[in-house]
Amino acid sequence: MSTARFPSPTRPITNEGPFRALLLENIHPSAEEMLAAEGFQVERLSAALKPEELAERLKGVHLLGIRSKTTVPASALVNAEELLAIGAFCIGTNQVDLVNANTHGIPVFNAPFSNTRSVAEMVLAEVIVLTRQLFDRSREVHAGQWRKVATGSREVRGKTLGIIGYGHIGSQLGVMAEALGMRVQYYDVMTKLPLGNAQSVPTLDELLATSDFITLHVPATPSTHMMIGADQLARMRKGACLINASRGTVVDIGALSRALRSKHLGGAAVDVYPEEPESNSDGFVTELQGLPNVVLTPHIGGSTEEAQAAIGKEVATSLLKYFKAGATTGAVNFPQVEAPLIPGTHRILNVHRNIPGVLRDINRIVSDLNANIHAQVLSTDANIGYLVMDLDQDVSRPVCDAIAGLQTDIKTRIVS
């Protein structure tokens, strides 16, 4: 994540099209349909793009849609003068340099709920798959081997599920696991309301030492980076299983591989990896391949038809609300403003450096044009101010041209 570095002011973006959207990583067609219905020219690609390719493709693009594979560092936005907003059609936004996007006046929207049930269901399935060693037995029968054994195969009823990160996914999973008769406990850095009979555990070490299954549902942040390494795996009960469907940076894969090979752990299910391929046609190698009772999936925790269709609509709705009225509610890196459009007024959006005197300068520009401010909403964070301004007179163009001349300007746009 970069610290604040501001771009030079750019010319204002008018409300005259054509407007273009670039959607990467097989984003559900529901998003394309919604954007196209509002007049966007939509380009939809199935794979992620590397930052240098993305930088080229973003010329003249107004909305960018990505999922978890496309990283958007500062270098990807060097040509993105027209870019209004980024939609992360997933939960995680760690792949975007959020501070850089903020200081370029670009809000980033995500879908915080739509795939959470899909992840919880997959993890619950994996708990049973691991404790019954189902994939190994299935592979044997596929290969013509009949190995009917009970040793090491157990019920989940009465076993303890330890959840690290009791947020939207972790808490849903806990409720579902209790329905199977599991005891549920969790560790979270925030105080969280325990659902059902779930119990909060004060330390990660205690959770690790007292659970039969450990499952991770934390975001990728500096505090979760490699939070499960050799020490933490050694604290887990002998024969316990680890499930990671959060982010690949959270678990030390080498240490996990050693804990599995030494038989300290009884199994693992891994959906996310430190390095993941950009498309389905790329090969993939991990040192976990070939280990017994290890379920490896290609980052499909949120990949269900229900989740993807809902995410497509949810994020496209946020992008269009921003495009049409400047609403930033739910943006993960931006001051929040949502002001209803007022018929008969003319809306201007302005992002500027958050330093004293900017509002005075903008209001002077309006008053010098003998225009009246019908409504004005300003919301700020440490770096930027976001101003939504409705004028009674149609002087948007000269006002925007004058604002773009201010050294404090980052991005100005005419909505109506």
Ligand X SMILES: NC(=O)C1=CN([C@@H]2O[C@H](COP(=O)(O)OP(=O)(O)OC[C@H]3O[C@@H](n4cnc5c(N)ncnc54)[C@H](O)[C@@H]3O)[C@@H](O)[C@H]2O)C=CC1
Helix pair 116-131, 305-325: axis angle to 10 deg = 160
Closest Cα to residue 267, out of 132, 124, 125, 157? 132
Q: Does 70 bind ligand X (CB under 6 A)?
A: no
**Residue selected from 91, 164, 242, 391 as contacting ligand HPV according to rule CB under 6 A:** 91
Of how many residues is the chain composed?
416
Q: Does 169 bind ligand X (CB under 6 A)?
A: yes
**Residue selected from 9, 167, 335, 385 as contacting ligand X according to rule CB under 6 A:** 167
Q: Which is nearer to ligand HPV, 67 or 347 (CB)?
A: 67
Q: Does 90 bind ligand HPV (CB under 6 A)?
A: yes
**Distant-in-sequence, close-in-space partners of 91: CB < 8 Å, separation ≥ 6:** 110, 111, 112, 115, 116, 168, 219, 302
Q: DSSP letter for 13, please.
A: B
Place of tokens 């390095």: 275
**How far apart are the two ends of the chain, measured CA to CA in Å?**
34
Q: Which is nearer to ligand HPV, 303 or 380 (CB)?
A: 303
Q: Which stretch binds ligand X (CB under 6 A): 26-34, 125-133, 205-213, 220-228?
A: 220-228
Q: Which residue is nearest to ligand X (CB)?
A: 167
Q: Does 308 bind ligand X (CB under 6 A)?
A: no
Q: Among all residues, which ones are annotated catalytic?
A: 247, 276, 299
What letter represents residue 370's amino acid? N
Interaction with ligand HPV in 228-287: which residues (CB under 6 A)? Answer: none
Helix pair 29-37, 305-325: axis angle to 10 deg = 30
Q: Does 219 bind ligand X (CB under 6 A)?
A: yes
d(CA 349, CA 387): 6
Interaction pattern, residues 43-72, with ligand HPV; x per rule: CB under 6 A: ------------------------xxx---
Q: Does 115 bind ligand HPV (CB under 6 A)?
A: yes
Q: Does 116 bind ligand HPV (CB under 6 A)?
A: no
Q: In what order do the strands lie in the sheet with 213-216?
A: 199-200, 183-187, 160-164, 213-216, 241-244, 267-270, 294-296
**Residue selected from 271, 314, 390, 409 as contacting ligand X according to rule CB under 6 A:** 271
Q: Which is nearer to ligand X, 66 or 387 (CB)?
A: 66
Q: Do 383 and 2 form a contact (C-beta atoms < 8 A)?
A: no
Give the interface with ligand X as residue ranges (CB under 6 A). Answer: 91-92, 115-116, 119, 164-170, 187-190, 192, 217-221, 223-224, 227, 245-247, 271-272, 299, 301-302
Give the interface with ligand HPV as residue ranges (CB under 6 A). Answer: 67-69, 90-92, 115, 299, 302-303
